[in-house]
Amino acid sequence: MMGVNFLKWQEYYLSLSNFNTYVFIVVRRIVVNQNVNSPPVALVTGASSGFGLLVSVALAREGYRVIASMRNMQNKEMLATVAREAGVYDRIEVISLDVTDFAAVESVVNDVSNRYGRIDVLVNNAGFVVGGFVEELTLEEWERQFATNFFGLVAVTKAVLPIMRTQRSGKIINISSISGRVGFPAMGPYVASKFAVEGFSESLRLEMLPYGVYVVLIEPGSFKTNIWSKGLQGVSVRSGSPYEKEMKTIMQYVNRVAKTAPPPDEVIRQIIKVVQSPTPHLRYPVGRGVTLTLRLKNWLPWKWWEWIVMKSLKQK
């Protein structure tokens, strides 16, 4: 594939060689069109499982060349298996990427741009959950949560922005959560990181609209993915903690919700609709009861809202 740098070299070379204007324009158009006619390229972070894995396969089905990144390459076989079953294995390239390694992020994005000459879609999905009560969580745990969920997302986005701005098109899809709009006890670090993603995305959306780049937030409710099970496995309170009773109640609530959570298909369908839309909205709440929850929080007096939350936690 011929990228932007090669295009500039072609223009420079032909000008120095005193080719006539007609030949110059024809050759320049050929170079550009080879880029335009190549398959669109999507970069997905956190593709080893859950939304990231499924959206990688879905984008490949839509004709995208998918660069599916993951921190732990030992998990790549699951993606490979699903891709083979879907008949899109040859359209997905699995790469290693830790989004908290900013130098690696720059290197990966530059490599993708140099090889394919474009990045049309970025899906920022990498993330995990740190749970616990604020008093008992260490600052290191807070830093670890924000390093991946927020600063990693910012790093990948910043690396992609010059490419999308130059090509004057692109979609940056940030996988947020209903937790980016609604607080929940014992989830402070996760909730705060998603609130940060929401504010960042609002600002970036307004910065990039003049360049034809759309920033979009996907806000899922509860779905059957392993992000919660992985995060909550590490949640505990010390013996004799003043929060022991409350944590037990919260864990019972989370487990109850997880048992009835639907598969993530609805989220994947929504992401594909965003990719296909020429002018997508900023926010897409997805999932059972999510829209109602957001409306209640926004419309009700805060005292009423917190009463509803506390009462729901105590339900058996």
Each residue's pLDDT tens digit, 229-288: 565 655 666 678 899 888 888 888 888 877 777 788 999 999 999 999 999 999 999 988
In contact, 46 and 70? CB cutoff 8 Å? yes
Give the global pTM: 0.86
Residue 18 has pLDDT above 70, yes or no: no
Phi-psi bin for 28: left (phi > 0), alpha (psi -120 to 50), beta? alpha
DSSP state of 150: I
More confident call, 215 vs 12 = 215
Q: How confident is the model at residue 312 (pLDDT cuts 50, 70, 90)?
A: confident
Q: Is 253 a catalytic residue?
A: no
Q: Residue 49 has which token pair?
A: 């499982």
Residue indicated by tokens 């990966």 = 108
Mean pLDDT confidence for 48-66: 97
User: How many other C-beta atoms are found inside a 10 Å radius of the C-beta of residue 65?
Assistant: 23
Q: Are 262 and 288 in contact (CB under 8 A)?
A: yes
Chain-centroid distance of CA 194 in Å reads 11
Structure confidence at residue 257 (pLDDT): 78
Question: Which of the residue ranges 20-24, 157-161, 304-308 would you say has the lowest mean pLDDT?
Answer: 20-24
> d(Cα 63, Cα 67) in Å, to the nearest integer?
13
Name residue 100's amino acid: T
Q: What is the pLDDT of residues 19-54, one digit of tens each?
A: 444 433 333 333 344 466 789 999 999 999 999 999
Residue 166's closest CA among 213, 218, 134? 213
Q: Give the mean pLDDT of 105-133.
A: 96
Q: Is the pLDDT of residue 152 over 70?
A: yes
Q: Which residue among 64, 116, 190, 214 is the active-site one?
A: 190
Element (H, E) at 172: strand 170-175
Residue 298's contacts (CB-CB under 8 Å, 6 or more residues apart) are none
State the pLDDT at residue 35.
60
Report the 10 Å Cβ neighbour count for 125.
28
